[in-house]
A and B are shown apart, each in its own frame.
Chain A
Amino acid sequence: MTPPEKTVPWRRRARKIPRALRRGARRVVGAVRRRWRRSLQLRVVASTLLISAAVVAVLGFFLMQQITLGTLDARKKAAVADAAADRQEAQRLLDPQAQPESAPQPGTGVEVKPRKCTLPVERAVCTLAQRAGVPARYEIIIIPADGSPAMASNSILASSIPPGLMRQVRSAPNDEPRPYSQAAQLRYIHQPGKPVPGWVVGGKIEGGHQIYHLFPLVEEEEALSFVSRVLIAVGAALVLLLAAIASLVTRQVVTPVRLARQAAERLASGRLEERLRVRGEDDLARLAASFNQMAGNLALKITQLEELSQVQRQFVSDVSHELRTPLTTVRMAADLIYDERESFDPALARSAELLQNQLERFESLLADLLEISRYDAGAATLDTDPVDVRDLVLRAVGHSEALAERHSTKLVLRLPSEPCMAEVDGRRVERILRNLLFNAIEHGEGRDIVVTVGADRDAVAVAVRDHGVGLKPGEENLVFDRFWRADPARTRTIGGTGLGLAISREDAMLHGGWLQAWGMPGEGSQFRLSLPRQKGAELRGSPLPLVPPEVEMRRAWRAIAPVAPETAEVGTGASDGQ
């Protein structure tokens, strides 16, 4: 039992490592790509690097080739000259008529050393090897025509002669004065397995002896590899230098552009006083100047518009205030008339009632206008207390019960058992809820209205669900606009002002909360108010879904059904199981 328990986490961890690596790599790639897309400088430097590297590589290659050709050509000429000089000497030494060293003259006491390099071939190799110097500039191999053993100087191996060259020389006529040559790998006894690049010159001399000169090209190779190393180093330095220059130049261009971008961003965010510094008379300076002009114009226009808007708002506020005094007087008079309506004839009494109703509406409209102008002026303040949101809901529902009864609408409450405390302005929240309920009753067409309260650690939410005509797509935000109505032909039955939802949204935003709407034609609509529990805390999510769960579920059903209607149930069952 224990081994699987031990191995499984191990395997899991082992699987996690490559996944983590892949994730890390993806992150790096993503960062690089982002950097590539966003940085003009990076793109310019990278392309400079690439193009200059290609140019330097091509240039270096040709340069190296020229140097190599030149060096080897010179060495080859010297080698052929050496071989030609040696050929004559070898011819003399291998001439069968030639006598060995002259006999000593009597009386001079010359010592004669016999038996050292006595064979002609041996003597020839010995003499030529001495001409090659110490250390040997080249090695000699002579293959005699008479089949006697071949001789080599020092430690050169006969396998250094390329077989093709040997065949060519062997088949050449005996008096062929022209030597043949070929590049080859020279092998030495004392360096087994380490062949050295070299040049072999082979020829025939009179008598048919084959004579090969083997020139090692070690020094040339060292010199050339040194030159190539230097070329590579210089090329790399050059490419880096070019990249650095490109980086520097781009920076000179990009920095003002970047400053312009930042200024534009700040301008866009509302800081209209933002301006660029104008230096010199170049393109960038002119860009800065025109930017500044544009910013100035924009600021002017925006200020003008703001002022206009301010004036309008002030006008509305003032009008509302100014209307209140005569309205109060009219109200007082209307109250008197209303109180005396029973003494009037029925038509007049009906007019008195109508007057009273419309005056009440006028008043509430005026109140709402004042309230909204207070928001526009930024004069709205919060008066927060820890309140149980359930109480607020109950109070709002209590207030709306009469209206609901009138519309024969049932209000269904789904409240959590524990209190949902939140630091809110109770009056404003109750007003929101009341507005939502009124709205729901108005558009609920007599069907049930469900009020749900939800809470989590950070937030509380209230959702009001009706089953009326619902909202068309795109109307979710329009509902909060002032004096907006879904169907302009419809009259307001309850007597809403058309400002209720707008004020509610302003209230919710004042709390740092959200007021959102969802609706579908034929499905009804749902309004959700989400508020943070702590005053001033940021709202990250809502405890309740915006779309009612039953709608979401039905939508999922519908998505599966057209694909495989018969297996739909099985599929869901399986997915449930997972």
Chain B
Amino acid sequence: MDSKRALAVDGRRVLGAAVVVFTVSACSIVPTRGPITPEQHQISAGKLSQPHVRVIAEPPRPGATPKQIVDGFRVAMANFDDDHKLARQYLAEPLASSWDPRAGATVFEEKQLTGAEDPAKGRRPSSDQRDVTLQGTTLGTLGPDGRYQAADAPGGSAGGKVGGKRERISSQTFGLVRVGGEWRINRVPHQGLLLTAEDFARAYQQVDLFFFDRAQDVLVTDPVHLPIRPGEDRAAAVVRRLLKGPTDWLRGAAVSGIPDGTRLSELLVDDANKIRVNLTAEAAEAETNAERLRALAAQLAWTIQTNLPEIKQVSILIGGVVVAVNNSSIVQRDQFGDFDPAGIKATAHGYYVAKDGRLHGITDGKGQAVPIAPGAPRRKLVQPALRSDEQALAWLDGKSRVVVGDLKGQVQARTWLTGTDFTAPSWDRDGKVWAVDRLGGGRSRVMRGTAQGPLPVLAPELENTHVKELRVSRDGCRAAVIYEEGGETHVKIGVITRDGDTVQLGRLRPLGIPDEAKVTDVAWQDGGHLLVLKGERSGAELLRVPIAGPDFVRITPVSSIDGIAAASKDSILANTDNGKILLYDGQTQTWSTDLGVGDYPMFPLG
């Protein structure tokens, strides 16, 4: 009886095993029919998750020569994997502990880097000290605040020196010392990193921060470069940098609506691409004032959504509590369109002066005449500029007068500025006309005209120069200047700071364009980019130059361009030297050529 039962149990066990086998094999059969189901795919576009490339650094090899050590150190400096712990291995004490990789960076043109290994001065080759010198071209520097500053461009200077401040061709000398039989660096040319242009392009990304102008009227773009740290949340890095405030360059010109000392306590991105930004309690100060809160929200929304396009909604929390802005807990960039850093309405028209001296507006790709003030001279409009509301026009009457007239022609044109030799006028956001009066003898005076008369502008750096052109940016915080000094032409951008009634234009910084001397015209494209026209006639070329960055874009012109105006990245107006008006569409990267015949293309402001 026992054996019979055992047999029965055995039989069941075999059956059970067979059931398992059949069940498992049935699972692996792929269905070939079924219901239609809507699928969700997480949009993961944007720079956040784009593949990127890293250079792989290696620790110093035993027995490496001084040159190999310097080479290895330079590779390690370009690697951001472990906060430059590896780079520090190349250094000897005390430099190893004092070296600060966050102190900024110097960007070098790699092609011109050469290494020369010499024994330290006054010592024999067998000694325990060496110098390795790298000859190179400095392209620019990155400050600790993340702002890229281009070095002075070649071509505009003779002998490679500009103002005696920065050498274009420079020697970077590393001092090496033998430590325990191995060479280590004990002297570096800069506190901070030394990177090639390729390293810089690979390891850093440009981020546009947004702050407010002093009138809290418009957002000011402040481009910075942040290192790409693998594994770091890019959104958090961007927000953290925004909370630190504007770069030193914009100090006094741009302000942040986010209270000082505010830190990011938490940042979460959910599946629906909604971001939750939790700020520390310091930000609660902004909650007391609706305008201030709006400014804070606008800065966050613009900064996040500009740099992370995949983010669709922003939710702001202060100390863990959701903040409602405009009665909505969800903030989007579109809600703050009035603060658009472009400075003008997206619907703003382009204009030009037709052959008959009349102003023409461009609608639907065709020029249309606009009547000008009856009191205006019959003469052709010279160097006209449009006010932001497209209602008023400023132009040069002769060389010595800046005249402002109503676009509708209902108010008599009036003279706002009188002097000797004015540059083309440029409107600022406050409705004042900026122009530089060339006093002769290499002296200039920057002036601001109002209906009541001229107002002073302090511009000590321009006083002893011959200014060719001055264009105030649409956000009113910066001005692009072309000027001649000591026989050299410079294109620089200065910052307009206001202290009470005193307005100052200073902190002129180079753009780093090659052959600056050939620059004939500049126009603001948006808060962070300047359009530069270089060369003349058939040799003319258009450059889209970032105000803080090494990567300028060449826009190939169709024919020889004489003058330019730009409203945004996507729309550029130009006139050829034979009087044709051209429109460039950045979306399709094409030129439209049959707009009309005329001169002086322009957009409001800029």
Instruction: List residues of chain A with CB under 8 Å of any chain B CB.
Output: 44, 48, 51-52, 55-56, 59-60, 63, 67, 104, 106-119, 122, 125-126, 129-130, 132, 134-136, 141, 143, 149-155, 157-158, 188-191, 231, 234-235, 238, 241-242, 245-246, 249-250, 253, 283
- With A118-B201, A235-B20, A246-B9 given, is the CB distance from A112 to B49 under 8 Å? no
Contact residues in A for B50 (Cβ distance below 8 Å) = 134
For the complex of A and B, list the 7 residue pairs with the smallest distance between their C-beta atoms, beginning with the closest. Answer: A190-B231, A155-B230, A129-B51, A150-B56, A189-B230, A149-B75, A125-B53
Q: Which of B9, B45, B82 contacts A242 (CB 8 A)?
A: B9
Residues A104 and B551 in contact, CB atoms below 8 Å apart: no
14 cross-chain CB contacts under 8 A: A104-B556, A109-B557, A111-B553, A115-B197, A129-B51, A149-B75, A151-B54, A151-B55, A153-B54, A154-B52, A158-B56, A189-B81, A190-B230, A249-B8
A149–B23 Cα distance when bound, in Å, is: 53
Q: B289 contacts the other chain (Cβ, under 8 Å)?
A: no
Residues A152 and B56 in contact, CB atoms below 8 Å apart: yes
Contact residues in B for A241 (Cβ distance below 8 Å) = 16
Residues A113 and B551 in contact, CB atoms below 8 Å apart: yes
**Chain B nearest CB, measured from A103 CB (Å):** 10
Main secondary structure of the interface of B (DSSP, over half): mixed
**Chain A nearest CB, measured from B150 CB (Å):** 13
Contact residues in A for B44 (Cβ distance below 8 Å) = 134-135
A156–B46 Cα distance when bound, in Å, is: 20
Contact residues in A for B290 (Cβ distance below 8 Å) = none
A115–B107 Cα distance when bound, in Å, is: 13
**Chain B nearest CB, measured from A67 CB (Å):** 8
- With A109-B555, A246-B9 given, is the CB distance from A115 to B56 under 8 Å? no
A56–B197 Cα distance when bound, in Å, is: 63
- With A130-B51, A132-B51, A150-B55 given, is the CB distance from A51 to B231 under 8 Å? no
Q: B554 contacts the other chain (Cβ, under 8 Å)?
A: yes
- With A48-B9, A141-B56, A189-B230 given, is the CB distance from A238 to B20 under 8 Å? yes
A155–B556 Cα distance when bound, in Å, is: 37
Contacts of B10-52 to chain A: CB distance below 8 A: 12-13, 16-17, 19-21, 23-24, 44-45, 49-52
Closest Cβ neighbor of A139 among chain B residues: B51
Q: B507 contacts the other chain (Cβ, under 8 Å)?
A: no
- With A59-B17, A109-B556, A118-B198 given, is the CB distance from A149 to B55 under 8 Å? yes
Residues A111 and B198 in contact, CB atoms below 8 Å apart: no
Residues B49 and A134 in contact, CB atoms below 8 Å apart: yes
Residues A155 and B53 in contact, CB atoms below 8 Å apart: no
A270–B49 Cα distance when bound, in Å, is: 91
Contacts of B156-198 to chain A: CB distance below 8 A: 197-198
- With A115-B198, A116-B201 given, is the CB distance from A59 to B20 under 8 Å? yes
Which of A55, A111, A130, A191 has its CB near the most chain B CB atoms (within 10 A)? A111
Residues B49 and A151 in contact, CB atoms below 8 Å apart: no
Residues B13 and A242 in contact, CB atoms below 8 Å apart: yes
Q: B558 contacts the other chain (Cβ, under 8 Å)?
A: yes
**Chain B nearest CB, measured from A100 CB (Å):** 13
A sample of 4 more A-B contacts (CB under 8 A), given A115-B198, A250-B5, is A107-B558, A111-B554, A117-B201, A132-B51
Per-position 1/0 for B118-130, Cβ under 8 A of A: 0000000000000
Residues B56 and A151 in contact, CB atoms below 8 Å apart: yes
**Chain A nearest CB, measured from B22 CB (Å):** 12
Closest Cβ neighbor of A63 among chain B residues: B24
Residues B13 and A153 in contact, CB atoms below 8 Å apart: no
Q: B312 contacts the other chain (Cβ, under 8 Å)?
A: no
Closest Cβ neighbor of A122 among chain B residues: B53
A129–B50 Cα distance when bound, in Å, is: 9
- With A152-B56, A154-B51, A190-B230 given, is the CB distance from A115 to B591 under 8 Å? no
Contact residues in A for B201 (Cβ distance below 8 Å) = 115-118
- With A118-B201, A134-B51 given, is the CB distance from A55 to B13 under 8 Å? yes
**Chain A nearest CB, measured from B556 CB (Å):** 5
Contact residues in B for A157 (Cβ distance below 8 Å) = 81
**Chain A nearest CB, measured from B515 CB (Å):** 15
Instruction: List residues of chain B with CB under 8 Å of any chain A CB.
Output: 1, 5, 8-9, 12-13, 16-17, 19-21, 23-24, 44-45, 49-57, 75, 78, 81-82, 197-198, 201-202, 230-232, 544, 550-558, 584, 586, 589-591
- With A122-B202, A149-B75, A190-B231 given, is the CB distance from A242 to B53 under 8 Å? no
Closest Cβ neighbor of B81 among chain A residues: A189
Contact residues in A for B231 (Cβ distance below 8 Å) = 155, 188-191
A125–B8 Cα distance when bound, in Å, is: 65
Closest Cβ neighbor of B586 among chain A residues: A111
A116–B205 Cα distance when bound, in Å, is: 11
**Chain B nearest CB, measured from A405 CB (Å):** 74
- With A115-B197, A135-B49 given, is the CB distance from A249 to B9 under 8 Å? yes
Residues A106 and B556 in contact, CB atoms below 8 Å apart: yes
Q: Which of B21, B56, B553, B584 contacts A112 (CB 8 A)?
A: B553
Contact residues in A for B591 (Cβ distance below 8 Å) = 109
Q: Which of A107, A115, A154, A242 contacts B12 (CB 8 A)?
A: A242
Closest Cβ neighbor of A284 among chain B residues: B1
Contact residues in B for A155 (Cβ distance below 8 Å) = 54, 81, 230-231
A155–B228 Cα distance when bound, in Å, is: 10
**Chain B nearest CB, measured from A155 CB (Å):** 3
Residues B558 and A153 in contact, CB atoms below 8 Å apart: no
A63–B17 Cα distance when bound, in Å, is: 11
Residues B52 and A153 in contact, CB atoms below 8 Å apart: yes
Contact residues in A for B19 (Cβ distance below 8 Å) = 238
**Chain B nearest CB, measured from A286 CB (Å):** 12
A134–B232 Cα distance when bound, in Å, is: 17
Contact residues in A for B45 (Cβ distance below 8 Å) = 134
- With A118-B201, A241-B16 given, is the CB distance from A112 to B57 under 8 Å? no
Residues B198 and A152 in contact, CB atoms below 8 Å apart: no
Closest Cβ neighbor of A123 among chain B residues: B53
Q: Which of A52, A112, A235 contacts B554 (CB 8 A)?
A: A112
Residues A129 and B551 in contact, CB atoms below 8 Å apart: no
Contact residues in A for B551 (Cβ distance below 8 Å) = 113-116
**Chain B nearest CB, measured from A329 CB (Å):** 72
A116–B203 Cα distance when bound, in Å, is: 11
- With A109-B591, A188-B231 given, is the CB distance from A117 to B556 under 8 Å? no
Residues A189 and B82 in contact, CB atoms below 8 Å apart: yes
- With A104-B556, A115-B197, A234-B23 given, is the CB distance from A151 to B16 under 8 Å? no
A249–B4 Cα distance when bound, in Å, is: 12
Residues A119 and B198 in contact, CB atoms below 8 Å apart: yes
Contact residues in B for A188 (Cβ distance below 8 Å) = 230-231
- With A52-B13, A132-B51 given, is the CB distance from A108 to B556 under 8 Å? yes
A125–B16 Cα distance when bound, in Å, is: 53
Contact residues in B for A151 (Cβ distance below 8 Å) = 53-56
**Chain B nearest CB, measured from A560 CB (Å):** 53
Contact residues in B for A189 (Cβ distance below 8 Å) = 81-82, 230-231
Residues A153 and B553 in contact, CB atoms below 8 Å apart: no
A150–B81 Cα distance when bound, in Å, is: 14
- With A108-B589, A242-B12, A253-B1 given, is the CB distance from A122 to B49 under 8 Å? no
Contact residues in A for B202 (Cβ distance below 8 Å) = 117, 122
Residues A63 and B51 in contact, CB atoms below 8 Å apart: no
Q: Which of A52, A134, A283 contacts B16 (CB 8 A)?
A: A52
Closest Cβ neighbor of B17 among chain A residues: A59
Closest Cβ neighbor of B53 among chain A residues: A125
Q: Which of A56, A134, A245 contacts B17 (CB 8 A)?
A: A56
**Chain A nearest CB, measured from B495 CB (Å):** 27
A110–B231 Cα distance when bound, in Å, is: 35
**Chain A nearest CB, measured from B541 CB (Å):** 11
Contact residues in A for B75 (Cβ distance below 8 Å) = 149
Contact residues in B for A136 (Cβ distance below 8 Å) = 51
A380–B269 Cα distance when bound, in Å, is: 102
Contact residues in B for A153 (Cβ distance below 8 Å) = 51-54
A117–B203 Cα distance when bound, in Å, is: 11
A108–B585 Cα distance when bound, in Å, is: 11
A15–B591 Cα distance when bound, in Å, is: 100
Q: Which of B5, B53, B550, B589 contacts A152 (CB 8 A)?
A: B53
